[in-house]
Amino acid sequence: MNKVVQHHGVHNLENKQAKLKINSTNKNDIIKLIGPPSTKSTFDNDVYIYIERKTSSSKLSKLGKKKLLTNNVLVLEIGNTGVLLSKKFYNKDDMKNINFDEDQTGLNYSKKSFVYNFLSSLRQKIDDPLGKKRIKN
């Protein structure tokens, strides 16, 4: 029996991001190669976030739980001139190793907090892909 693989986001994100060159690639090149970003924000510079996520149904013994095959995230920072300033690529294993600072002070609307919140929500989805874990009080 063939497993059904559900693919969300940009296909082959890891291969496509390898073609992006810092201080050389511009916004138009990025959109032509990868397409429009999954999420976009503007602070000092534009931040484009691309996601690739693949899941498949697991064996019958697991009662239909989804198995996470791929979870890639690409964070691109684009300068005011439209040129790529930085790129960060995270795969499924990287997401588990990201250490988040637990200290918080008030509201801080910055590029760092945006990316932090975005990656936190993705890490939560990795731990619980279908949102079925319950909070025990």
pLDDT in tens, 25-51: 999 999 999 999 988 887 777 899 999
**What is this structure's pTM?**
0.65
Q: pLDDT: is 112 or 22 the higher one?
A: 22
Question: What DSSP string runs through 68-117?
Answer: EEEEEEEEEEE-TTSBEEEEEEE-HHHHHHPPPP----S---SHHHHHHH
Domain regions of the chain by residue span: 5-96+106-127
Residue 85's pLDDT band (boundaries 50, 70, 90)? very high
pLDDT exceeds cutoff 60 at 105: no
Q: Buried b vs exposed e over 93-115: b needs ≥16 C-beta within 10 Å? A: eebeeeeeeeeeeeeeeebeebb
pLDDT tier, 137 (very low <50, low <70, confident <90, very high otherwise):
very low
Report the largest interatomic distance among the alpha carbons of the chain, rounded to a whole angstrom: 54
